[in-house]
Amino acid sequence: MSNISDSPAELEDNRSTGARAKVYAARMRLQKAVDQADALDAIREIAANLIGTEEIAVFKVDKRRSELWLYWSFGVDPNKHSVLEVGREPNLKLVLSTGKPVFRYRLSNENLLSTEDPVSALIPILVDGSPSAVIVLFRLFPQKPGIEPVDREICDVLSHCAGRAIELYHSR
């Protein structure tokens, strides 16, 4: 006899518990990162295992030049994405001015950047409340139709907890 229930309320409760567990796992993984390299690895793990992409890049903000410079990437060609000019990218301008992520709509053909590679999300990394870098999530896994509500919560965690990946913090 199975203990699995089919009631809609219980299914929704199970989904909610699973979502909370994913968000918690992302937060803990980032908070327990011991150094920059570990924090970058945490971003890769969270993107792959919790969001569903193995094509990630982190760009540092150069406010003086109004550009983003490739700082780190996994699964993308660094030669194709070494510099992003904010003035040519309206979605980047939005992310940097608001400090909030931008997501591609589910099943949309819209691309968030003027690149050949599909971009699914632009996530600011906030340090002292200001965007210091942007995580770019490229193509999602084929079985994943788009960024889901739990993914947005995980992106919020990345935005607020991934600062160690780009900044050297002194011991607390």
- Enumerate the domain spans of the chain: 8-165
Band (pLDDT 50/70/90 cuts) for residue 111 is: confident
What one-letter code names the amino acid at 92? L
Over residues 83-96, mean pLDDT: 95
Tell me the whole-structure pTM to 2 decimals: 0.87
Over residues 142-165, mean pLDDT: 93
Q: What pLDDT, on the 0 to 100 scale, is given for residue 172?
A: 36
* Average predicted confidence (pLDDT) for the chain: 88
How does DSSP classify residue 163? G
Give which of 54, 14, 44, 22 is closest to 148, Cα–Cα: 22
List, as one string, the DSSP characters of 60-112.
EEETTTTEEEEEEEESS-TTTSSEEEGGG-HHHHHHHHH---EEPPTT----S
What one-letter code names the amino acid at 18? G
CATH-assigned architecture of domain 8-165? 2-Layer Sandwich (3.30)
Over residues 39-56, mean pLDDT: 96
Band (pLDDT 50/70/90 cuts) for residue 170 is: very low
Contact 161, 30 (CB under 8 A): yes
Over residues 75-102, mean pLDDT: 94
CA distance 105 to 146: 7
Number of residues written out for the chain: 172
Instruction: Let me know if 36 is exposed, middle or buried by CB neighbors in 10 A (0-12, 13-18, 19+).
Output: middle
